[in-house]
Amino acid sequence: MNLGLYIHIPFCKQKCLYCDFPSYPHMEGLYESYTDALCREITGQGVLFSTNQVDTIYIGGGTPTALPAPLLLRIVTAVKENFAVTTDAEVSIEANPGTVDGDTLTALRAVGINRISFGVQTFSDTLLKRLGRIHTGEEGANAVRIAKRAGFSNINIDLMYGLPLQQAEHFQQSLQIAYDLAIPHISVYGLKIEDETPFACSLAQGKLSLPSEEEEETMYDRGVTYLPQHGYERYEISNYSRPGFSCRHNLKYWHYAPYLGLGAAAHSFINRERLANTQDVRAYLECINSGCSPVEHREIADEATQMAEFCFLALRTNSGISYHAFYQYFDKDFYQKYEQQITSLTARGWLQQPDNQ
């Protein structure tokens, strides 16, 4: 089976107030050595997976484009030299609109990166400021234009709803701007206040004015109706795309396909096992440089949990659960295994069974 590669760049210019992902600002001094270590890990893992074809690569963060272009080029080159990357592979990179310029994007495109994902979040300056983002709305739109000029046709932007002070109208405007920019892929995420973030702290102190649930739902509903009306298919609960532009790498997460994570805090799913590298950048460097494994957690779930994962992940996508894929994977009949649940959920109208599956 083809393999997906996830490469984590745990750096950013400034931590957003809602973010609890493993990403760290003010680590410019480690950019060089992190790239070295990452390339070593890529080389080492490449040997182990030499028989696999790699058809998707996703460079995520943090802000991968926080790294200077030459370092990014080294990473991509290392991957290509050590893994069997297919010619039509989807190669994505995440970027912060405040960290890109035409030259960098042209260079990235030239090295084979063919998909770019901007964390735009919203086009409203007031809201962006409130989120602690480093860019303006106009910079967000401009990043998309620069990417297009640099030769990217497969572009995503992330949009968020449920932001502090956000109203349904703001969100609607952002959707409209995204549509007007002819962006082929849009991810729409709801803001979730995670523990131990500055937002969680403000919320506890009563200083964060979040939209009411009703308003939040209104925004959600706007996204769910606006985008399909404008030619975007909702192929996963948070992801919308023009035909042919769904993100093949992310679909691997939902389709229970294998992926290998590289870099600090990267997660892998290989041979039914879930692995996670240490989140601590310095610990990661130490492990790699001393020839140890950076893997901190590994778990093979029992089969019942695996099946449950298979189902709930698949149900996030519009293609749903595949009877055949389930059978192939677990050697079990889906209908027999979940007869009771299927009956009860179907009766409630929550589950549908198309004739052809």
Partner 1 sequence: MNTSHIRNFSIIAHIDHGKSTLADRLLEFTGALSAREMENQVLDQMDLERERGITIKAQAVRLSYTAKNGETYMLNLIDTPGHVDFTYEVSRSLAACEGALLIVDAAQGIEAQTLANVYLALEHNLEIIPIINKIDLPSAEPERVKQEIEDVIGLDTSGAVLISAKTGFGIEEVLEAIVTKIPPPQSDRNKPLKALIFDSHFDSYKGVIANVRVMDGCIRPGMKILMMATEKKFEVAEVGIFRPSMSSIAEIGPGEVGYIAASIKNVKDTRVGDTVTEIDNPASEPLPGYRKVTPMVYCGLYPVDSVEYDSLRDALDKLKLNDASLAYEPETSMALGFGFRCGFLGLLHMDVIQERLEREYNLTLITTAPSVIFKVFKTNGEILEIDNPSKLPVVQEIEHIEEPYVKATIIVPNDLVGAVMELSQEKRGEYKDMKYLDVTRVTITYHLPLSEIIYDYFDRLKSSTRGYASLDYELIGYQQSELVKLDILLNGEPVDALSVIVHRDKATYRGRLLAEKLKDIIPRQMFEIPIQAAIGNKVIARETVRAMRKDVLAKCYGGDISRKRKLLEKQKEGKKRMKQVGNVEVPQEAFMAILKMD
By CB under 8 A, name the binding residues for partner 1. 6, 8, 21, 58, 60, 158, 187-192, 213, 216-217, 220, 237-238, 252-253, 259, 261, 265-269, 274, 276, 308-309, 312-313, 316, 348, 350
- In angstroms, give the least distance from the CB of 325 to partner 1: 17
- In angstroms, give the least distance from the CB of 192 to partner 1: 4
Q: Are 23 and 15 in contact (CB under 8 A)?
A: yes
Burial of 350 (0-12, 13-18, 19+ CB in 10 A): exposed
- In angstroms, give the least distance from the CB of 317 to partner 1: 12
Q: Whose Cβ is closer to partner 1: residue 6's or residue 326's?
A: 6
Q: Are 146 and 185 in contact (CB under 8 A)?
A: no
Q: Taking Cα atoms as reference points, which of 252, 262, 235, 241 lies closest to residue 325?
A: 252
- In angstroms, give the least distance from the CB of 190 to partner 1: 4
- Tally of CB atoms within 10 A around 289: 12
- In angstroms, give the least distance from the CB of 56 to partner 1: 11
- In angstroms, give the least distance from the CB of 305 to partner 1: 8
Three-state SS sequence of 219-233: HHHHHHHHHHHCCCE
Count of CA atoms in the C-beta half-sphere (13 A) of 98 = 16
Q: Are 293 and 36 in contact (CB under 8 A)?
A: no
Q: Whose Cβ is closer to partner 1: residue 34's or residue 58's?
A: 58
47-66 in b/e form (b: 16+ CB < 10 A) is: eebeebebbbbbbbbbbbbb
- In angstroms, give the least distance from the CB of 267 to partner 1: 5
Q: Taking Cα atoms as reference points, which of 23, 44, 103, 96 lies closest to residue 70?
A: 103
Q: Whose Cβ is closer to partner 1: residue 349's or residue 354's?
A: 349
- In angstroms, give the least distance from the CB of 118 to partner 1: 14
Q: Whose Cβ is closer to partner 1: residue 201's or residue 313's?
A: 313
Q: Are 31 and 151 in contact (CB under 8 A)?
A: no
Q: Whose Cβ is closer to partner 1: residue 181's or residue 193's?
A: 193
Q: Whose Cβ is closer to partner 1: residue 13's or residue 274's?
A: 274
Q: Whose Cβ is closer to partner 1: residue 150's or residue 263's?
A: 263
Q: Whose Cβ is closer to partner 1: residue 92's or residue 104's?
A: 92
- Tally of CB atoms within 10 A around 303: 11
Q: Whose Cβ is closer to partner 1: residue 134's or residue 188's?
A: 188
- In angstroms, give the least distance from the CB of 63 to partner 1: 13
Q: Are 4 and 262 in contact (CB under 8 A)?
A: no
